[in-house]
Amino acid sequence: MTQKKRRLFTDEQKAEAVRIVEQADKPVSQVAKELGIGVSTVHNWIRQAKIDRQSDPKGALTSAERKELVALRRELKRVEMERDFLKKAANLLCQGDWGPYELMDAEKVNYPITLMCKVLKLARSGYYAWVNREVSPRQQENEILSNQIHQIHQESRQTYGSPRIHAALLAKGFRVGRQRVRRLMAKLGICARRKRPFKVTTTDSVHSLPIAENILNRDFTSTEPDRAWVADMTYIATTEGWLYLAVIIDLFSRRVVGWSMAEHMRTELVSTALEAALGHRIPAAAGLVFHSDRGSQYASSDYRKALEISDITCSMSRRANCWDNAVAESFFGTLKTELVHPVVFATRAKAKTVIAEWIEVFYNRQRIHSTIGYLAPVQLEEQYWLNLGQPMTL
C-alpha cells in the first residue's frame, strides 16, 4: 500500500487562505472544506497570522522567527555533526590505520558524504571515484586476511593479540607482517584482553617448617619434559565463596600437568595436584626438580615425603619473591585475564567445570605460547616425542 504524500503549502497560499476566511461571511469549516484543507490547519494559520501582525517581542514566535529558529537548529545540527566527525577523523587518521576515503566509507551511515568531504577538504568526485575503482590485489589480500584474523580471534576465545594472531597466520601459510596484522585488527576492532593487577595472598610463609634450597634459581628453561616442574596456588571468587586452585606446570612445554580445586587451602589441595601429575607423567631419568613458594602446604612433612617417595628434588623460592616462581604467576595472570575476570561464577561447581575445560582443552591443547615458539604445549610435546620416535605420554 502506497503511503499518501503529505501536502505542503507556501507562505502565499497560507496568507490567501487566511484572507478568504476573514473576508468571507462563512464559517471557517466551510471555507476549509471549499479549499480542500483541514479545519485545524486553517485555524493554525489564522492564529499564526494574528501573531505575525502583533509582533510582540514577549509573545509567541512569528512566522519569520519560526523560520529563523528552524534554520538555526539545522545549522547547529550541521556544526555538531562536523565537530563529532572531525574528532573521530583526527583520532583514526593520526593512528595511520585508516585512509580518508576508507574512513568516509565506514562512516557514511552516520554522516552525509558532503559533510565529510567538507571537513576533510576533499572533492566528492574523488570519493566516488575511489568507491567505483577496481579492487586491487592488496585489498583482496586484506579482505582474506581480515576474515582469517576474525576467525583466529574467535577460536582463541577472543583473547589473542597481534603477536599470537600473527604467529597463527604464519602457521597457516600466510606471508604477512606484524604491523599489517595490527592495522587490520584495529579496523576490525579486535584486541587482546588486558591484564589487570591482582594481589596474591595464598602464600603462608610464616611458619617453622623446613625450607628447601632455591635449586631452580629462576632457570625457567628445560630441554626435556618432566625435568622441572613449578607449582603454585591461587583463588577464584564465586558467589558461594572462594575456590582455590593448585597447579603444576612443566617448564619444557608450559603444560599444566597436574591441577586440583577445592574450597580450602589445606595440604590435600596441593597433594591432589601432585597425585594428578604423577598419574600420567614420569620424572625424567636425569631427575625432576619441583619448585614452589615457601607456603606451609608445600613445606609440610606430608608433601615433602610425597616428593621424596617419587624421587623428586624439592626447590623453593626466596622469601616474598614472586619472581622466583614467575612462570606459575604468569599462568595465573593469563587464567584470570582470559577467563576469570570477565565472568561471575554463581557456584564453585560451575567454576570448577569451566576452569577444568579451559586448562585441559584450551590452554594445554589450543592456546599458542610465545615462549615455546607459538605452539600449544601438547603440540610441542608431540613434536618432541615424534623426533625421538617414541609414543607420547598423554
pLDDT at 2: 58
pLDDT at 265: 92
Pairwise CA distance, residues 119 & 99, whole Å: 14
pLDDT at 184: 87
Residue 6: CB atoms within 10 Å: 5
pLDDT at 268: 95
Q: Which residue in 376, 331, 371, 379 sits closest to 355, CA to CA?
A: 331
Amino acid at 47: R
pLDDT at 200: 46
User: Which grid coordinates are listed for 58?
Assistant: 514577549
pLDDT at 328: 94
Pairwise CA distance, residues 112 & 291, whole Å: 63
pLDDT at 23: 78
pLDDT at 241: 93
Mean pLDDT by 10 residues, the chain (394 residues): 68 80 78 81 81 68 75 87 86 75 87 90 88 80 88 86 88 89 86 62 59 91 94 94 96 96 94 94 94 91 93 89 90 92 92 95 93 93 89 64
pTM above 0.85, yes or no: no
Q: Does residue 3 come out as left (phi exceeding 0), alpha (psi in the -120 to 50 range) or beta?
A: beta
| E strand or H helix that includes residue 290 | strand 288-292
pLDDT at 99: 81
DSSP state of 195: P
Pairwise CA distance, residues 194 & 333, whole Å: 10
Q: Are 331 and 249 in contact (CB under 8 A)?
A: yes
